Amino acid sequence: MKPQVSVVVPTCGRPALLARCLQALESQSLPRDQYEVIVAEDRRRDGPATARNQGWRRARAPIVAFTDDDCIPDHDWLRRGLEALAGGAHAVCGRIVMPLTGAPTDYERDAQGLERAEFVTANCFVRKFMLERVGGFDERFRLAWREDSDLHFGLLAQGARVVREPRAIVVHPVRPANWGVSLRQQRKIMFDALLFKKHPRLYRERIRAAPRWDYYVIVASLLVAPFWTPAWLVWLLFTGRFFVQRLHGTSRAPAHLLEMILTSIAIPPVAVFWRLVGALRFKVAFL
């Protein structure tokens, strides 16, 4: 008998996390013969977009559910997702829960923002024929960044009805990160350029309404400062403002404060660099 839903789980060298995820999937309230689980290994570390495509194209069910190997689906996750689709929707986005304890770091608070994301491939259900219609995931998104928004926007462009189901819950614990992770993550910004190129209107409406002008002011002041001393004051003002914004509501531990100071100095020029890389790589006027 064909299953009702195929669950696709991309993974990349994280066996302990994958085992935890599979245990949660094995414990679903949906009868076991009504769903299958497809683990798609990203052998070349090409990114989750490639692995997810490999997974859903092998799916036997008419509905494909996506989660990640570091997630823990709730006991009723599959059942709630299918119930939401039964109303005629083409896709469903469930609720992500990222529990934190104590005062979070800037990285942890930023990661927790996933709870407010409009459409996340760590917790979504899509009818397979719609995946076929949009061509699945764009494998040019080589990192785990914006490939879910691209799928969402592609579905909307095809007239798909996308609904939310807050009862379809996936817990997504925030994984530990090394010092300076926020600086390394700036490389992902190049894929904002690709998303903007493909969906300029939706990008401005749903991702970022305007460019990061504060970053450009900071970089411009750095370039001008050797020739015009007052530019250092502009740099200090905007960099300090950026630091205070990041620090608000986060840990005041000395190590975290030092990390925040140094990365707040480095992030704007690094982010602008990767924005320019993305604009050149994908041939789009992106700021």
**Residues 230 and 283 both lie in one domain:** yes
Which CATH number characterizes residue 69's domain?
3.90.550.10
DSSP 8-state class, residue 126: E
**Residues 280 and 192 both lie in one domain:** yes
Query: What is this structure's pTM?
Result: 0.94
With CA atoms as reference, report the closest residue to 212 among 286, 285, 150, 280: 286
Distance set, CA 74 to CA 80, 263, 280 (Å): 10, 36, 42
DSSP per-residue string spanning 204-264? HHHT-SS--HHHHHHHHHHHHTTT-TTHHHHHHHHHHHHHHHHHTTS---HHHHHHHHHHH
One digit per residue, the tens of pLDDT, for the chain of length 287 reads: 899 999 999 999 899 999 999 999 999 999 999 999 999 988 665 589 999 999 999 999 999 999 999 999 999 999 999 999 998 999 999 999 999 988 999 999 999 999 999 999 999 999 999 999 999 999 999 999 999 999 999 999 999 999 999 999 999 999 989 999 999 999 999 999 999 999 999 999 999 999 999 999 999 999 999 999 999 999 999 999 999 999 999 999 999 999 999 999 999 999 999 999 999 999 999 99
**Residues 98 and 157 both lie in one domain:** yes
Look at residue 46 in the predicted model and tell me its pLDDT. 53
Look at residue 102 in the predicted model and tell me its pLDDT. 86
Look at residue 44 in the predicted model and tell me its pLDDT. 60
Q: Tokens 């409406």 — which residue?
A: 205
CA-angle at 82, arms to 80 and 87, nearest 5°: 105
Cα-only R_g, the chain? 21
Torsion of CA 172, 5, 27, 177, to 10 degrees: -20
Separation of alpha carbons 112 and 10, rounded Å? 21
**Residues 57 and 147 both lie in one domain:** yes
Domain end: 118, 146, 177, which one? 177
**Residues 129 and 111 both lie in one domain:** yes
Domain end: 127, 160, 177, which one? 177
How many domains does the structure of the chain reveal?
Answer: 2
CA-angle at 42, arms to 115 and 65, nearest 5°: 45
**Residues 165 and 187 both lie in one domain:** no
Query: 3-state class of 36 per DSSP?
Result: strand
Separation of alpha carbons 18 and 26, rounded Å? 12
**Residues 109 and 166 both lie in one domain:** yes
Segments forming the whole domain that contains residue 173: 5-177
